[in-house]
Each structure stands twice: as C-alpha cells, then as structure tokens.
Amino acid sequence: MIVDDQHYDVIIIGTGAGGGTLARKLAPTGKKILLLERGELIYRESSELIDTEVFKKEQYHAPESWHDSSGEPFSPQTYYAVGGNTKIWSGVLQRRRERDFEQVQHQGGLSPAWSLKYQDFEPYYTEAEKLYQVHGKFEDDPTEPSHSEAYPFAEVAHEPLVQQIGGSLAEQGLHPVHLPLGLGDFGRTDAEDTGITPVLNSENVTLKTSAQVVLLHTNPSGSEIKAVEAKIGEQSYLFLGDVVVLACGAVNSAALLLRSANEKHPKGIANGSDQVGRNLMKQLLSVVVQLTSTANSGLFSRTLGLNDFYWGDKDFPYPMGHVQNSGGILQDVIFAEAPPILSALSRLMPNFGLRQLATHSIGWWLKTEDLPHADNRVRYVGDKLRIDYTPNNVEAHDRLVYRWVDALKSVEQSQPNLFNRTTHPRSDMPVQVVAHQCGTCRFGEDPATSVLNLDCRTHEVHNLYVVDSSFFPSHASVSPGLTVIANALRVGDRLIEQLQ
C-alpha cells in the first residue's frame, strides 16, 4: 500500500455529470482537488456514435458482472471514462416540473415530496443550462416550469421527417415540443468537455485515471473519512483529503459505502438508517419503432418531445410520462439493448440489413416515473453486487404506450405517403440498462429515513458528500441529467463557503 505524498482539500470520486460539474465549479477556488476516475480520458471518441458498431459490441458496458434478483450475472450498461455516462447520453437536458418536487399520487402509489422545491433549484438550472450550452424553447410546452432566464441558445431544428410528424401531432390537438439539448462546437456537451477538460491545466487540480476506488477509511470514531483507497493498475494507494465527494452513479456510490463497512459503521458507511442502497429507481423505459416508407440518415439528433400525457388525461387521472424521438437509431447506444426490436423489424422488412432497417424507421422513447420502494435496492451477497429491482407503476407506462401508438396511427393515416406499415414494435429495457438510475442515498431532514442532509452531506460522516443522482427521493418522467448538474452546482456553493 502506497500513501500518496499529497494532501488534498477535496477528493472527488467519479467525473460524470455530478463529479465533472463539481470539479469545474470548485477549481477557481485554488483549493487542491484530486479527481479519481475508474475509466480513462477518451476525449470525444464515444460521444459521436456512428453506425452499426453500437449494436455489435458491448463497449459501453462496465467490465464486471453484477447480479439480478435471482442471482444471475449480467453486464451492466454503465460507462467508465472521464465524463462517465455523459459520454454516451443523448444530451437532452430537461428540468423537473414544479409538481415533480411535490407529493404526487400515481396509479402505482405515492411519489414522495422533496424537502427542497423547484425554486430552490431554479437558479442552478439556469446556471447549468449556460454551462452545458442548452439549446431550447419552452413557450410551446404547457408543462415546462417557470424560467428566470430564457434558454441560452435557440432550439435545434427538427429533421424534415420529424417536423412533418410534429405537424400531424399538432393537428390532433397535441403539443409537440423542442427538446432542450446541450450542444457545443463539437457536438453534444458532456462532463468531460464541459467539466474536466477546462480545469486540467489548473495547478490545483490533479486527475488520476484507471483509478478504481475500493474502500473508504474513517477515523477511529467513524465521524470523518480519513483516506480513500484506490487501485491503479496492480498497485494500491491511499489518498488523504479534508472533504470526500462521491459521484460514482447511484449504484456504485451505494456499493462503495456498503463495502466500506467497519466497526463504527457495521452496515456500511453512513448507513445507520439502513437506507444506503435502498429505493433504487431507474424509470420505466420502452422504445416504440415507427416504420417509414422513405429513408433517413439514421444519425440525426433527438429534437422532438411530447408531454401531453405527463400528468394523465381525461381517461386516466394519473401521470403517465414523457415521449421523445430517439434521434437516429444508428447513434443510439441503448438500442443495443433492444434485440426484440431488431428481430421484429427483420420480420417486417426481411430484405433489409441493419442499416436499412435503421434508416427506414424512427424510434420513440417512452419514459414513466417508477416509484421508490425499499426492496428495490443495491446490496452485496457475499462479494457479489446484487441489483434487486422489480418494476412498479407499470399500468401507467402501458397506458402511455397505448396512447402514443394511437397518436402514431393517426399520423400515419394523415400522411400515407410517408408510412406504409402500421405495426409498431415495442421493447422494454431490461435490468442491465441502468440509465437514469437514482435514489440509493436519498437526501432529507430526518437521519432516520435519509442518508444525506439537504446539502448532500451524509448525516453520520461530516466530511462526506454525494453529488450524483443517488440523492433523489423520487424520480420523474424527464431525464435526471440536468438536475444532477444543477445540484452539483448547488452543493458546490455550499462547499465553497465551507472551504473559504
């Protein structure tokens, strides 16, 4: 074991939406910051995904096995690199709706209220949109929450085919909207180019890649983290710091706390409440494919969303969720997890190869909020990381799919020259797709029912913070990325006050 000869003011573990953003926020303070990232610095290689390699290789999976509720191993779709999962995200950066912060009755149960509300996050949403160069338009979305400032950049134009579909949806009385997209000079903005790269030349910032953090070590009383143990290559190191921040993703942050159990924290660090790892949420995600008679590039951006069913409709008084086009299927990593879709397309279009299937179809992502449940959790069984997850709120999601397919059929009837097939293959994302994971270290005011306080510091360990999506008490039907970024900026302000 080698003890690093440097002492750091802040150690940040993970460089995704939370950790990368926090590093950018803290770097100007001049404080000594260490970034530990399990993956490598790959720059833009995986942010510009093209062609069928997405479907052929599991290069966007973690190099380890997790285990499902029955103990069967699987390869999780989570990415280890500088920038984390933002290297393979869609770049859609949405605000939670104001009502998403309140208690909401769903068909499947209650979504709990947050102790902080939309107005507490609003200034940081605005800061996040500027930082990640969000292009958007909110006047056309009746569910969009209030903004103190307009989006910093104008909305991205739809692909012509998508524009035509949007026009047909509007004729049905629906409200297709422009999705807010983070876009920079080189494509989608991510936590590597926005958070990490700008601070790498700072004398006070040190980045260590291929650094797998294996344990956190506390002082004898268990009140502070004194050292972070990491393995770099075949060598183990101890890094010492005053403040330690976890930003490993909801699964891996919880796993690190659990496996760091010691005499003062026998159930895992900061787990006196027995809430670490519990309440795992990852949204109900389905893809519905619409077949076209005309070709498209298969490479365009996601631009069109629809929230008419977000809070329900006249026939179903419960929230259903959000719809957005997938963008070009050849660019969409998560389509690699949907082999039933590819099989169905092959049967419907038997003379087409994969590229032709993708360029004669439009994918639609449907997202419904899943609800926190104590038995949906991350835990260890021996030395095996186990993900116990049973989907809930399923009826609301199924109704969203039915509503959307009905809307697509109306589009097809109004534009028969564009569509010559009325079948709509559907695939639901399996447990290995852990996109939009959250909730395993929820924040709150009561240490008996939460892991973190409202500043995202653990109740029990005074120098330990969590800034990934672990802190969410509830999910929503929009993507969590912008909320993670906004929260990292918010926690950054608290840390700056403390460090000064």
Query: 219 in a domain, yes or no?
Result: yes
Query: 101 in a domain, yes or no?
Result: yes
- Global pTM exceeds 0.85: yes
Number of structural domains in the chain? 1
Query: 453 in a domain, yes or no?
Result: yes
Q: Domain of 190?
A: 2-44+55-499
- CB burial of 231-246 (b: ≥16 within 10 Å; e: otherwise) equals eeeeeebebbbbbbbb
Element (H, E) at 168: helix 160-171
Residue 340 and residue 344: Cα distance in Å, rounded?
6
In eight-state DSSP terms, residue 193 is: I
Task: Give phi and psi for 421, each to the nearest 5.
Answer: -140, 140
Residues 6+ away with beta carbon under 8 Å from 185: none
Find residue 232's DSSP bridge partners: 211, 235
Q: What is the CATH number of the domain that holds 89?
A: 3.50.50.60
Residues 6+ away with beta carbon under 8 Å from 240: 3, 4, 6, 7, 8, 226, 227, 228
Query: 49 in a domain, yes or no?
Result: no
Instruction: Per-residue pLDDT tens, the chain, 500 aa: give them.
Output: 888 889 999 999 999 999 999 999 999 999 999 999 999 987 654 444 444 455 555 567 788 999 999 999 999 988 899 999 999 888 999 999 999 999 999 999 999 999 999 999 999 999 999 999 999 998 889 899 999 999 999 999 999 999 999 999 999 999 999 999 999 988 899 999 999 999 999 999 999 999 999 999 999 999 999 999 999 989 999 999 999 999 999 999 999 999 999 999 999 999 999 999 999 999 999 999 998 888 888 778 899 999 999 999 999 999 999 999 987 776 676 666 666 776 777 777 777 776 777 788 889 999 999 999 999 999 999 999 999 999 999 999 999 999 999 999 999 999 988 887 778 989 899 898 888 999 999 999 999 999 999 999 999 999 999 999 999 999 999 999 999 999 999 999 999 999 98
